[in-house]
Amino acid sequence: MKYFSIVILTVLTLFVRAQDTTFNILLNSNVRTKEIRSIIKIDSSYYLLYSTVNYPPIGVGIGLIKLNNSFQMLDSSLYSNSSYYSVINSGKGFELNIIDTTLMVVGAIQFPNNQKQNGYIVKFNKDLDTIWTKQILHPDTAYADTAQTPWVGFRDVKITPEGNYLIVGNYNHHCQGGMDNSFIMKMDTAGNILWQKFLDPAIYQTYIINIEIDPIDSGFYFISDKFGFYLYKYDKNGNFLWSKKFHSDVKIPYVSKIKVIDNNIIIGTNYYIPPVIMNEGPIPRLYITSIDRTTQNINWTKKFNSISIWSLYLRQEVIDIEETPTGNLVIGSVGMTYKDSNFTGSHRAFLLMLNSNGDSLWSHYYTYQNDSIGLEDMQFNDMVVCDDGGILFGGSYYSYPLDPQFIRAWLVKTDSMGNAPGMFTVGIEENELVIKNVELKIFPNPTSENINLSMQESPKEELQLELYNIIGQLVLEQQLPAFEKEHTINIQHLQSGVYLVKLISENQVVYSGKIVKE
């Protein structure tokens, strides 16, 4: 079945961009919650998996949006099943099968009153039509028929070299409590189960949310942290081969991402450091490891003490790793922002660029509007690298003071240096990430003639002011002398509309905001 989402179509066509530009947009809707959950790039097209939630009912469904290479929408589809309470996606759970050019979505179905949840799989063709669906019932069949709360959910799916599906999921033991056991399933293209492996909870962590295929031998990897972080390798038939401990720091469970690049396995996890302020509690931080897939030796490890890994919704899809066309690594995450060691209490999306040796090249965090501390929360869920080297990432945006009712899907396209509207630069100092930005007031806003710039501190270097229109064109450029805190800029010649304001210092964006010209 196929449904077209007219609301999404209307909104997206307002934000068309060329591929060599950047943007930062919201996908508004008439439902309480909409967020981008996963992104896939297929040749010159982009597929966005989104989820919707409304009250009532609790669940609306999952949907797909197809964009072309210029980020214009080609098609959209909303999938839901009226026989069930909701269709949800509980992890990345989105993958392309290049052999038959089909899309696989895995997640779960919840029933009324959250008393029951089955694993759920939907297979789409490239035109977003549903090919087949499949429910996976609770494996403890002796209990499932009479139990009140049998829960099953899928977290991730990967395509094997022969075109089959490798799926990782969770279930609650004997249908009691939360989903405390993990299992791995292999399925053919028609949805037939080839084998299932139920992982011993005495050895493996509660949630295994990310699984990665070995492109050489068709085996697979996953992370468990039951007794310290371990990388596990299994063959293509689900038989254990080896494990490698790579992380001994105090940590919280199931925040991990694996990416196989050439002969290296890149792993993103989290670790604890002491709290930034008293009584705040330990904050999970970013930890990147490279392991040789042949020798299992650790190539390098990097800790980033000032990037927290903290999902806005306490979920697990908070780290992604991709390779750029130049061989660098881009790390995407969501966490709490810090300035001058002060805890702000706001979630932000982060991008970090590393070279192949793990050395930091740059890092940014992103917000939809001005960097209003404590007023806006952003969720990062997934990203892809575009043909121009830029990054397209998605998640959700929420601002309680401005709009307490709606959570909106959020989509950002950066250039190859991570620059985009709403971007703030993070400097690298001895593996510490220290936010460096200019505290700036712009008034009046809206305005019809001039804007006044007022900085909290006098800049020690010359700044470059840039204004961009809604389609990304540079419309004004002006140099601001060093050691001057106040400036007046004439914008009388500009047409009415919304403009992006950037301040640049030493080739880094130190301020990004918006103004309205009446």
What pLDDT does residue 123 have?
92
- 459, burial (CB in 10 Å: exposed 0-12, middle 13-18, buried 19+): middle
What pLDDT does residue 339 have?
52
Tens digits of residue pLDDT in 197-247: 998 888 887 778 889 999 889 999 998 876 678 899 999 999 999 999 988
Higher pLDDT, 393 or 97: 393
Query: Which helix (DSSP H) or strand (DSSP E) does residue 129 occupy?
Result: none
What pLDDT does residue 296 have?
95
Q: How many helices (H) and strands (E) does the chain have?
A: 2, 38
| Cα–Cα distance measured from residue 390 to residue 420, given in angstroms and rounded to the nearest whole number | 10
What pLDDT does residue 392 have?
96
Q: How far is CA 135 from the centre of its chain?
A: 26
Tens digits of residue pLDDT in 243-274: 999 887 655 545 788 999 999 999 998 877 65
Tens digits of residue pLDDT in 426-437: 765 444 444 455
What pLDDT does residue 433 have?
47
Average pLDDT, the chain: 80
For the segment 433-456, the average pLDDT, to the nearest whole number, is 78
CATH topology for 81-248 is: Methylamine Dehydrogenase; Chain H (2.130.10)
What pLDDT does residue 256 have?
81
What pLDDT does residue 14 have?
34
Q: Model pTM?
A: 0.78
Window from 143-157, 274-288, 389-403 with minimum mean pLDDT: 274-288
Tens digits of residue pLDDT in 455-487: 877 777 888 898 887 666 789 999 998 888 899
What pLDDT does residue 413 have?
94
| Cα–Cα distance measured from residue 297 to residue 41, given in angstroms and rounded to the nearest whole number | 32
Asked if residue 495 has pLDDT above 60, the reply is: yes
Q: How confident is the model at residue 4 (pLDDT cuts 50, 70, 90)?
A: very low
Encoding tokens for residue 247? 């992380």
What pLDDT does residue 46 have?
93
What pLDDT does residue 282 have?
65
Q: Which residues lie closer than 8 Å to 309 by C-beta, 6 or more apart?
A: 255, 270, 284, 285, 286, 318, 319, 333, 334, 335
Asked if residue 16 has pLDDT above 70, the reply is: no
Mapped onto helix, strand or coil, the DSSP state of residue 139 is coil
DSSP string, 10-28: HHHGGG---TTS-EEEEE-
What pLDDT does residue 370 have?
65
Asked if residue 58 has pLDDT above 60, the reply is: no
Residues forming beta bridges with residue 264, ordered by sequence position:
261, 292
For the segment 32-46, the average pLDDT, to the nearest whole number, is 87
Encoding tokens for residue 208? 């295994």
Written as one letter, the residue type at 168 is V
DSSP string, 169-207: EEE-GGG-SS--EEEEEEE-TTS-EEEEEEPPTTTS-S-
| Cα–Cα distance measured from residue 16 to residue 68, given in angstroms and rounded to the nearest whole number | 10
Asked if residue 57 has pLDDT above 70, the reply is: no
Asked if residue 276 has pLDDT above 60, the reply is: no
Tens digits of residue pLDDT in 372-386: 666 788 899 999 999
| Cα–Cα distance measured from residue 471 to residue 17, given in angstroms and rounded to the nearest whole number | 6
Q: Which residues lie closer than 8 Å to 406 by C-beta, 6 or more apart?
A: 28, 29, 31, 32, 33, 398
Asked if residue 20 has pLDDT above 60, the reply is: no
Asked if residue 17 has pLDDT above 50, the reply is: no
| Cα–Cα distance measured from residue 184 to residue 444, given in angstroms and rounded to the nearest whole number | 58
For the segment 389-411, the average pLDDT, to the nearest whole number, is 85
**What count of Cα atoms within 13 Å lies in the side-chain half-sphere of residue 434?**
8
Asked if residue 320 has pLDDT above 90, the reply is: yes
For the segment 40-51, the average pLDDT, to the nearest whole number, is 89
Asked if residue 309 has pLDDT above 70, the reply is: yes
| Cα–Cα distance measured from residue 265 to residue 223, given in angstroms and rounded to the nearest whole number | 12
For the segment 342-364, the average pLDDT, to the nearest whole number, is 82
Mapped onto helix, strand or coil, the DSSP state of residue 138 is coil
Domain ranges of the chain: 14-39+252-437, 81-248, 440-517
**What CA dihedral angle connects 347, 335, 369 and 19, to 10 degrees?**
-140
Written as one letter, the residue type at 397 is Y
| Cα–Cα distance measured from residue 379 to residue 33, given in angstroms and rounded to the nearest whole number | 12
Most confident of 30-34, 97-101, 161-165, 316-320: 161-165
Higher pLDDT, 78 or 420: 420
Window from 48-57, 171-180, 401-410 with minimum mean pLDDT: 48-57
| Cα–Cα distance measured from residue 398 to residue 406, given in angstroms and rounded to the nearest whole number | 7
For the segment 31-42, the average pLDDT, to the nearest whole number, is 85
Asked if residue 278 has pLDDT above 50, the reply is: no
| Cα–Cα distance measured from residue 264 to residue 294, given in angstroms and rounded to the nearest whole number | 8
Tens digits of residue pLDDT in 59-92: 557 888 899 988 888 888 877 655 555 667 666 7
Asked if residue 136 has pLDDT above 60, the reply is: yes
Question: Is the fold of 81-248 the same as that of 440-517?
Answer: no
Percent of the chain surpassing pLDDT 70:
79
DSSP 217: T
What pLDDT does residue 7 have?
33
CATH topology for 440-517 is: Immunoglobulin-like (2.60.40)
| Cα–Cα distance measured from residue 145 to residue 141, given in angstroms and rounded to the nearest whole number | 7
Helix, strand, coil abundance in the chain, percent, nearest 5: 5, 55, 40
Closest listed residue to residue 196, CA positions, set 260, 151, 258, 138: 138
Most confident of 26-30, 146-150, 369-373: 146-150
Q: Which residue has the tokens 């009046």?
A: 444
Higher pLDDT, 432 or 151: 151
What pLDDT does residue 19 have?
42
